[in-house]
Amino acid sequence: MHDRWRNVVLKTKEAKKRVQFSDFVTFAKTEAKKSNDPTYGSASVTSSTNRNIEKRGQAGKITAPVNIANEGSESAKQETVEQKCVYCDGSGHFISDCKEFLRISLQDRFNFLRNKGLCYGCLKKGHLTKKCRGRHKCSICGRRHPTALHDPTRVPVTASAETGDAHPTNTKSDASLSHNPDITSTTDMRAVETTCAMAIIPVRGKLKDRNHSVATYAFFDSGSSVSFCTDSLMRQLGASCKKRDITRSTMGENYKLSSHILKGLQVTDLDMNELVDLPQVYTKDRMPVDKGHIPTRGEIHDWPHLSHINILDIDVEVGLLLGSNVPDAYAPQEVITGPSGSPHATRTRLG
């Protein structure tokens, strides 16, 4: 039966579809019907097998009947019929639909799952979240976590964020400039899955000698030789910039980008206690990452050495890319490491 289920999973993935729990329920029901068929089901096969064994037993003076059953079919039938909640011990539902479980705070839900050794991706035992192959998809935000673990402060994933479709703004330069700076960036988000956690933190951007600040997310990209901000952030700050055509090199491919040069940009932590002056920044319509690349609370809490870290989520875009030309922003103040192969966390001046 395991092989038959693997065949179903393989065909589903080849069709570029995600395996859902409903697929398993349909599969289990089909197997149960086959097992219970009066003519060709497992019961008929068992009876026939028992009779044959008894006859052979009489000939060989071995009279003990042997009961041969299809364990796979029985377990499948039990899994589709017996629904027991590990939180309230009630029957007829799983923890994902438990009203009592949903009444407690989100933090308490994570604590309960961690204490019970349950996966944050599928709410089952037997594996860590990072190795989960049956992650649920949230019906609220569309991300890959159970709906019961949805954080209401997080923004739903838009179609463009899920597919990676870009909607660039056509900007026509007023004058052709002879100087085209060559800018190198090793970040190619076409090769990065949306589930990958990147170094992205909430910050505030402001212009020098101005009090007005704008909250945004900053993406730390040490592979970029320069820094960028979005056109949207530039407009929110009320900055006036010069237009400039630049040439970028990404993964060995060169392409031209119509941009602006923004000078005097500063970035601070959310509390505005630490301030970092940025060198001249180039603008672009959008960043190569979005909020889907930010580590989630569930992903962080899956690692004991990082479980004490609180992630503050704000409803804003990723408006800054800080390259390697901002060393003050990268200087580590604290590094939290774990076992070999596990992720680490670095605290900087900005967060």
DSSP per-residue letters across 146-168: -GGG--TTSPPPPHHHHH----P
Number of neighbouring beta carbons within 10 Å of residue 322: 28
Among the ranges given (32-36, 222-226, 287-291, 302-306), the one the predictor scored with the smallest mean pLDDT: 32-36
Ranges of each domain in the chain: 1-82, 88-152, 175-347
Amino acid at 130: K
| 9 pLDDT higher than 80 | no
Whether 324 shows a pLDDT value over 70: the answer reads yes
Beta bridge partners of 257: 246
Q: Read off the tokens for 56.
A: 């052979």
Percent of the chain surpassing pLDDT 90 = 21
- Would you give the distance in Å from CA 251 to the centre of its chain? 24
Determine which helix (DSSP H) or strand (DSSP E) holds 347, and give its type and residue range: strand 345-347
CA dihedral 324, 326, 327, 331 (to 10 degrees): -110
Residues recorded for the chain: 351
Residues 271, 117: Cα–Cα separation, whole Å: 36
Tell me the whole-structure pTM to 2 decimals.
Answer: 0.48
Across the range 272-301, mean pLDDT stands at 85
Over residues 273-301, mean pLDDT: 85
Residue 101's identity, in one-letter code, is F
Distance of CA 143 to the CA centre of its chain: 6
Given CATH 3.40.50.10300, say whether it is the number of domain 175-347.
no
What's the whole-number mean pLDDT along residues 74-82? 45
Nearest-angstrom CA–CA distance, 320 and 201:
10
Bigger pLDDT: 49 vs 34: 34
First-to-last CA distance in the chain?
51
Tokens of 276: 């970092």
Distance of CA 290 to the CA centre of its chain: 12
- The SS3 assignment for 330 reads helix
